[in-house]
Structure 1
């Protein structure tokens, strides 16, 4: 075999080897982990849509690409992701102890999301989670535990849930929808909330507002919500009047039993979460020398609401409907 033929054959072998190597490289790239497959009603967010910048209660949040691993710190935050069809993105949730469980329509999604922490999320759990985005109740991510600056230094974007008005919460929902490319779903969800709340308001508009004491717990007084608390807003939309709405320094306040007696509520709205139970709280109220003097206690005018239902999130309409049906049972009997 002459040298010319040998050279041609060698060139052919090298060419085949090169093509084979490229084919192997392409196969490895194709086998890379896929992004979460999430139902989004055909909506798409192209890479060109990023970066996105949002005003999150005075903080500027810039999203450079669609998040892939999310922590939802608070049952309201978790359920909102489920409501928007984004449950597959969530790799950890917290404050399960503040929940009586998700609404039935979201139960399958929420129950399949791993627990980051049963109670409040710990600093270590957050920082080692591998998440790239956090949607958190404002009191779940603070200087007392893992603060925003530290989390961001680990490459996690933080969007804080801190709404005190319906419009603020609607904007949070629309922002989450935009970040994850489900804007139409978010817009439809907001419109549904508005329609349902308006229907309740129409039904109770001619009624005298019911004076409401929100009873979270009692010890050296009653731990209740102030006028700046999102729950106070929901009570108002349900036809109630928070008797401590004039207190505005903090969202949660402790008031004396004597002050409750002086303001004389028509109904006591009791928070339902892990412990103590609603039944135990009612017994506390009935056995209290001061609270037992209230007419609403003598007449057993107690209403209940699960704690996650009065946090800003996906349950605004649900909470308003539930409370109104207890404030005005005669209007909402089927």
Structure 2
């Protein structure tokens, strides 16, 4: 009887230990978490929002990389009101370690730079584990073009890491159903040619094949004119834009230059006078948090589709 009881107790303990472990794929790394993080830091507004929709604010010690470039809307302000912003832009290693963090949710060019001060390797000696945004993996490895599945993958992996798999599953299933219901009833024609205008006047900064807007545009019935540009977010030339003659311009709204100012720049510049998008004044605006991987991607697809096919 005693032996059987001890054996059963041991099995229960082993099961509990196994349940606490989570192994996920983070870009080209396989990362195991012995227990859910308790002092997490996220970088950028979209990554922070992923943490919030999973109900993880109480597992966080702060966030970074928002106020230096963007502003929080009312919904986001409410979500992070109890949390400090540890750094207005990209955090230093000292900032993350100084917060006694045990987890950093960031991405390449979303808080980390290749060869930079803050990387999974530089944080590891301080006991800080890193999970990398899936969309950003293209900066360090070969990857398929951007997909809405990238966002789902991040939510699922965060669910595993923080032991909130059920929450993640409910969210993902809800997003899938909402998108399917919307796109099934969407009447589209020949895919519209769309240019993503992020920023820049001398040379435009735009979304290439590996950036989330490519996936959002396709889901809404368009095609990114830079779909063959083997980059994520990068600079092209205006000559390339003019040559490909977009029918719609998708403006990413953030920073000091407003969406209306970006539209006015294109509308008033003689070099763009013959673009179909300019001739027909067809512009649509997405907020940065909608255009980058995160919970607002489904609404972003709806916004684009309504702009594409309203007529």
1:269–1:305 CA contact under 8 A, matched in 2? yes
1:202 equivalent to 2:173? Answer no
- Misfit runs of 4+, over 3 Å: 45-48, 97-100
Aligned partner (choices 88, 93, 102) of residue 123 of structure 1 = 93
Aligned partner (choices 288, 297, 309) of residue 278 of structure 2 = 297
Change in Cα spacing, 1:111 to 1:273, as seen in structure 2 (3 Å) is farther
Aligned partner (choices 295, 306, 309) of residue 325 of structure 1 = 306
Distance 1:168 1:262 in 2: 30
The corresponding residue for 1:134 is 104
The corresponding residue for 2:141 is none
**CA deviation digits over 1:188-217, x for unaligned, max 9?**
100111112212322335422221110011
Change in Cα spacing, 1:101 to 1:323, as seen in structure 2 (3 Å) is farther
The corresponding residue for 1:172 is 154
The corresponding residue for 1:69 is 39
Aligned partner (choices 252, 255, 259) of residue 274 of structure 1 = 255
Distance 1:122 1:318 in 2: 33
**What TM-score comes out, normalization by structure 1 length?**
0.79
1:216 equivalent to 2:198? Answer yes
Distance 1:113 1:320 in 2: 30
The corresponding residue for 1:11 is none
Distance 1:133 1:178 in 2: 14
2:188–2:221 CA contact under 8 A, matched in 1? no
More divergent stretch after superposition (191-200 vs 73-82): 191-200
Change in Cα spacing, 1:100 to 1:300, as seen in structure 2 (3 Å) is farther
Q: Which has the larger radius of gyration?
A: 1
In structure 2, stretches of 5+ residues that fail to align are 1-14, 136-145
Distance 2:268 2:16 in 1: 61
Question: 1:34-113 residue pairs with structure 2 within 5 A?
Answer: 46-97=16-67, 98-102=69-73, 104=75, 107-113=77-83
Aligned partner (choices 132, 155, 162) of residue 134 of structure 2 = 162
The corresponding residue for 1:16 is none
The corresponding residue for 1:229 is 211
Distance 1:173 1:183 in 2: 9
Question: 1:230-269 residue pairs with structure 2 within 5 A?
Answer: 230-248=212-230, 250-269=231-250
The alpha carbon displacement at 1:219 in A equals: 2.9
Distance 1:322 1:206 in 2: 14
The alpha carbon displacement at 1:276 in A equals: 1.1
1:102–1:110 CA contact under 8 A, matched in 2? no
In structure 1, stretches of 5+ residues that fail to align are 1-44
- Cα RMSD of the aligned pairs, angstroms, is 2.0
Tell me the SS of whatever aligns to 2:79. Answer: helix
1:146 equivalent to 2:118? Answer yes
1:308 equivalent to 2:286? Answer no
Aligned residues: 284
2:134–2:153 CA contact under 8 A, matched in 1? no
